[in-house]
Amino acid sequence: MKRILSFIVLVCLLYSCSDIPKEKEVTVSDVEITGFIKDYVKVVPGSYKFTNDGNDALITVKFELIAMPNYELCRKKHPEDISINPISETGDILDANFTTNRMETAKLKDLLNNGKLGDTKSISFKWRYFGNKSNRNIAKLIFTKTNLFEIVDETFKYCTDLTEDDTHWDDMSDNVKPNTVKESKIEANVNWDEALNEYEKYVDGYIRLIKKANAGDITAIADYPDIIKNAESLGNKLSNAKGAMTTSQLKRYMEIQTKMASAIE
């Protein structure tokens, strides 16, 4: 995490907000995301604008779904933040609190729970105290020195990992409330995840073997016993998997099949 500029350093800047630009455009390509959602979404590369009206500062960011969560996601009650930290040209975090409101957080939650890979949602963040006198120096840095930003998630978790006391019940579907998911359903999902992991391992090994054989590499013969072993392990996993695959598991299964088919064409 980059260092946060202290207010003591900032007080030496001009105090008036009259010379603060109304917007600051930044172009990003690999925005850092921390927190639970980092494995499931990314910020779409491109140009984004910090804007202000003298009272509030805003920025709207487009997220893309890059992986499907295994279970439904819910919001924690405390803390309940998806936030943006502007970052200066020198790599310093500029200490402003750009956060989403509940409606914007719900849009991101919908993308995570109901989106398809490649789907996007634009989410707005607001710094509500931009016009506060003590924030003007920070604001000037944001609208003159920012060239990057990071995303921090402090709210999302799997619904099954939360309790009634720390979950927004109105955000949850009836069949995934904490402590009410049937144990057999969780077990079935886990079994299929293990089977898919084994299937992908087998396919990756098979593809490596095919490539070596096609290249005339005689070491391919030495890899053959491993392929047989992986095939046997895969058979056991498939036999032990129970119940139906979830939508995301079925999608992953099809992707592995496609990878296998492409390799042997």
Q: Are residues 257 and 151 in the same domain?
A: no
Q: Are residues 96 and 161 in the same domain?
A: yes
Domain-terminating residue out of 129, 155, 176: 176
Q: Are residues 76 and 192 in the same domain?
A: no
Domain-terminating residue out of 135, 161, 176: 176
Domain with 219 in it? 183-264
Domain-terminating residue out of 176, 200, 235: 176
Q: Are residues 103 and 223 in the same domain?
A: no
Q: Are residues 114 and 207 in the same domain?
A: no
Give the total number of structural domains in the chain: 2
Q: Are residues 210 and 119 in the same domain?
A: no
Question: What tokens were used for 208?
Answer: 């490596």
Q: How far apart are CA 37 and CA 31, in angstroms?
A: 13
Q: Are residues 123 and 219 in the same domain?
A: no
| 2 in a structural domain | no
Instruction: Please return the burial class of 43, using the count of CB atoms within 10 Å of its CB with bins 0-12, 13-18 and 19+.
Output: buried
pLDDT tens digits along 56-85: 899 999 999 999 988 888 888 666 679 999
| 101 in a structural domain | yes
- Each residue's pLDDT tens digit in the chain (265 positions)? 444 333 323 333 333 445 789 999 999 999 999 999 999 999 999 999 999 988 889 999 999 999 998 888 888 866 667 999 999 989 999 888 899 988 999 999 999 999 999 999 999 999 987 767 778 888 889 999 999 999 999 899 888 877 655 555 445 444 444 444 434 444 445 577 788 888 888 888 888 877 877 888 777 677 777 777 777 777 776 766 656 677 777 888 888 888 877 776 6
Element (H, E) at 231: helix 220-240
Question: What tokens were used for 65?
Answer: 């779904």
